[in-house]
Amino acid sequence: MLKQYILFIFTWLLVVKGFSQAQFQIVTSSVGLEYSCGNTYLGSGVSFVDFNSDGWDDISLATDENSTPLFFQNNNGVFEPIDLGLPISSYQNKQLTWVDFDNDGDKDLFITSNTDGNILFQNNGELSFIDVTEESGLETENISTNGVSWGDVNNDGYLDLFMSNRGEIATVQNHLYLNNGDGTFSNNTEESNIMDVAEASFCSVMFDFNNDGWLDIFVANDKPLYPNRLYKNDGDGTFTEVGESSGAGIIMDAMTATVDDYNNDSYMDIYITNTQSGNILLENNGDETFTDVTSLSGTDFNSLGWGAVFFDAENDTDLDLYVSSMFDGSVYNYLSSALYINNGDETFDICEEADNDNDTSESYANAIGDFNNDGLIDFVVTNNTDDIFLFYNNSMNPGNWLKLNFEGVESNRDGIGTLIELGIDENAQYRMVRCGEGYLAQNSLTQHFGVGDATEIDYLKISWPSGQVDWYYDIEVNQSLSFLEGQGELSIEDKTFNTVKMYPTITSNLLNFSAITPIKSLVIYDGLGQKINSIKGDSSTSSIDVSALSTGLYTIVVVTTEAKEILKFVKR
């Protein structure tokens, strides 16, 4: 405990970049979290999700065989243990995910175990739970499940479930369960073309790697016998494994499946932790292929990496990266953790002032949230035997921020799979709501954007899994907002201003614009709502060449110094 006492007082993560300075402090003891997950082989999972829907991110911990899962309710930034009255005895559990699988507005709970079988608890309201595993149609016997991810793979409005099953020797294949919408699930593994071989999978993540509106599945496989898998959603109830053709099917000792758009190009990238051979950062090329940019980006790590998570530490508009290690700092030249600061040019610098010498715990999972609702992202780390770490973000001179929550109507209630585009001038950032990612982790469902010194957001484009697209404009920063599907300020079909003139509306080459006030930017979207091009302007007239575009209907968002207008044109 002495080492933790030192950590609580002296551990700081510090780096100076631009106008902001990222800084973290371990505050585990002062916020009521002096608890351990126990000693589980290859670690225990963590969730940073607001499970009681009171607007404060709570913490849930998986535990070893001598305990039951631990739950901590966040009361204005201080945590208190809460007994949920779950009808279970002590057993080894690996990952906890809070998920509204029945779309009734409250969070249900799914617990994985690689020794005693998985359990689905249905929330009947006010945190009253019943075990519905058997009646839901999920497997009740132990199938060595390590991690899970949830998402609506068939866009029917209900969340489906992918299980990553791993024994010490690969003996059980992974499972994909489709949600029938009536409280039951069907094992659709074979029909979906998920590979029928056991591959010692640690975890998975659902994300739309090619921006076609369908959730794909990336699976991190342990041992150099099994390549990582990328299942492309064909949109007809089946998947095609494209790991080899995409470049994502690397053979390695993969631990985590961490996904986000680190370079703000609208395509989600993948970060995979590994042994001392080095972690891998795969940059999404936007053409259904990935490029290994690990060395160029400076994110090799070259330690024994486990959990990893992207987040904007200083609210400076780009995503930084935190990585946990199984090494405790006692082995020379092997990092016990790392905070990589994004330089904004597709490179990262490891924080030399991170005081990693004081990180003397064997760490595994990590997850992000904002425990004190100050607009700065904090993160929690699970350790074997030692108490968990809660890193409080008390950065100096941070940028402004925006936090967003989502409620689906035609889409699933939690809005899982919703893609958010935030635009300021000619620049944009992207986030996707996910449920179950990283190594045994669940991040807060609240989406966080750092926006630097901007005082207003030009627009938010919210693309729901149902296909509904909502737009919002002129949003003030430094606030938390909630969005209900279909309640956008206006649809692209209704937008009219008469402040911008575009001609001709049917063209094979040039589009011309004239505006009352100077044009700041023009952004072109195709018929699926995907961004094709972004152009910066500086005068009240402009022309752009669209001859390279395919024939079809396009939308263009024109931002002037006084207004925004959404127009349509036909490329022939």
For 128-177, what is each residue's pLDDT tens digit? Answer: 999 999 999 999 999 999 999 999 999 999 999 999 998 666 678 999 99
Kindly state the average pLDDT of the residues 440-452.
98
What pLDDT is stored for residue 324 in this prediction?
A: 96
pLDDT reading at 4 higher than 50: no
423 and 280 within one domain = no
pLDDT reading at 531 higher than 60: yes
338 and 407 within one domain = no
CA–CA gap between residue 116 and residue 469 (Å, rounded): 42
Which of 393, 419, 448 is a domain's end point?
393
DSSP code per residue over 209-226: TT-SSS-EEEEEE-STTS
CA–CA gap between residue 56 and residue 390 (Å, rounded): 15
129 and 63 within one domain = yes
Between 8 and 547, where is the model more confident? Answer: 547
What pLDDT is stored for residue 116 in this prediction?
A: 94
In a domain, 113, yes or no: yes
| Model confidence pLDDT, tens digit, residues 233-283 | 999 999 999 999 999 999 999 999 999 999 999 999 999 999 999 999 999
What pLDDT is stored for residue 11 in this prediction?
A: 41
What pLDDT is stored for residue 365 in this prediction?
A: 98
Backbone angles phi, psi at 358, to 5 degrees: -90, -5
Cβ(129)–Cβ(86) below 8 Å: yes
Kindly state the average pLDDT of the residues 172-198.
96
| Model confidence pLDDT, tens digit, residues 464-492 | 999 999 999 899 999 999 999 998 864 43
- Reduce the DSSP state of residue 70 to 3 states and report it: strand
Lowest mean pLDDT, pick from 189-203, 334-348, 504-518: 504-518
Cross-strand pairs, 119 = 111
What pLDDT is stored for residue 20 in this prediction?
A: 64
pLDDT reading at 410 higher than 90: yes
338 and 373 within one domain = yes
CA–CA gap between residue 549 and residue 532 (Å, rounded): 9
| Model confidence pLDDT, tens digit, residues 29-43 | 999 999 999 999 999
DSSP code per residue over 119-130: EEEEE-STT-EE
Backbone angles phi, psi at 114, to 5 degrees: -100, 10
381 and 320 within one domain = yes
The range of the structural domain enclosing residue 448 comes to 400-484
Lowest mean pLDDT, pick from 13-22, 379-388, 417-426, 520-529: 13-22
Cβ(45)–Cβ(147) below 8 Å: yes
What pLDDT is stored for residue 7 in this prediction?
A: 37
Lowest mean pLDDT, pick from 137-151, 200-214, 348-362, 496-510: 348-362
Kindly state the average pLDDT of the residues 326-347.
93
- pTM score of the predicted model: 0.86
Mean pLDDT taken over the chain: 91
Between 406 and 6, where is the model more confident? Answer: 406
CA–CA gap between residue 490 and residue 474 (Å, rounded): 13
What pLDDT is stored for residue 22 in this prediction?
A: 84
Backbone angles phi, psi at 82, to 5 degrees: -130, 135
Between 426 and 410, where is the model more confident? Answer: 410
- CATH number of the CATH domain containing 214: 2.130.10.10
Percent of the chain with pLDDT over 70: 93
Which of 393, 420, 446 is a domain's end point?
393
In a domain, 344, yes or no: yes
In a domain, 10, yes or no: no
In a domain, 74, yes or no: yes
What pLDDT is stored for residue 9 in this prediction?
A: 34
pLDDT reading at 555 higher than 50: yes
473 and 331 within one domain = no
237 and 199 within one domain = yes
Which one-letter amino acid corresponds to residue 468?
Q
CA–CA gap between residue 277 and residue 271 (Å, rounded): 14
In a domain, 30, yes or no: no
238 and 99 within one domain = yes
What pLDDT is stored for residue 185 in this prediction?
A: 98
Which of 368, 393, 418 is a domain's end point?
393
pLDDT reading at 87 higher than 60: yes
Tell me the Cα Rg of the chain: 23
What secondary structure letter does DSSP report for 383? E
Positions of E strands within 152-274: 160-165, 175-179, 185-187, 201-207, 216-221, 229-233, 239-241, 258-260, 269-272
In a domain, 429, yes or no: yes
316 and 189 within one domain = yes
pLDDT reading at 3 higher than 70: no
Q: What total number of domains does the chain contain?
A: 3
Cβ(436)–Cβ(447) below 8 Å: no
What pLDDT is stored for residue 505 in this prediction?
A: 80
**pLDDT band (50, 70, 90) for residue 519:** confident
User: Taking the alpha carbons of 256, 40, 64, 172 in that order, is the dihedral positive or negative?
Assistant: positive
Backbone angles phi, psi at 484, to 5 degrees: -100, 130
What pLDDT is stored for residue 329 in this prediction?
A: 86
The sheet that has 70-75: what strands, in order across it?
78-81, 70-75, 59-61, 46-47, 441-442
pLDDT reading at 2 higher than 70: no
456 and 563 within one domain = no
Between 189 and 23, where is the model more confident? Answer: 189
- CATH number of the CATH domain containing 479: 2.60.40
167 and 51 within one domain = yes
| Model confidence pLDDT, tens digit, residues 295-310 | 999 999 999 999 999 9
- CATH number of the CATH domain containing 558: 2.60.40.1930
169 and 186 within one domain = yes
What pLDDT is stored for residue 1 in this prediction?
A: 36
CA–CA gap between residue 549 and residue 563 (Å, rounded): 27
In a domain, 13, yes or no: no
**pLDDT band (50, 70, 90) for residue 360:** confident
In a domain, 317, yes or no: yes
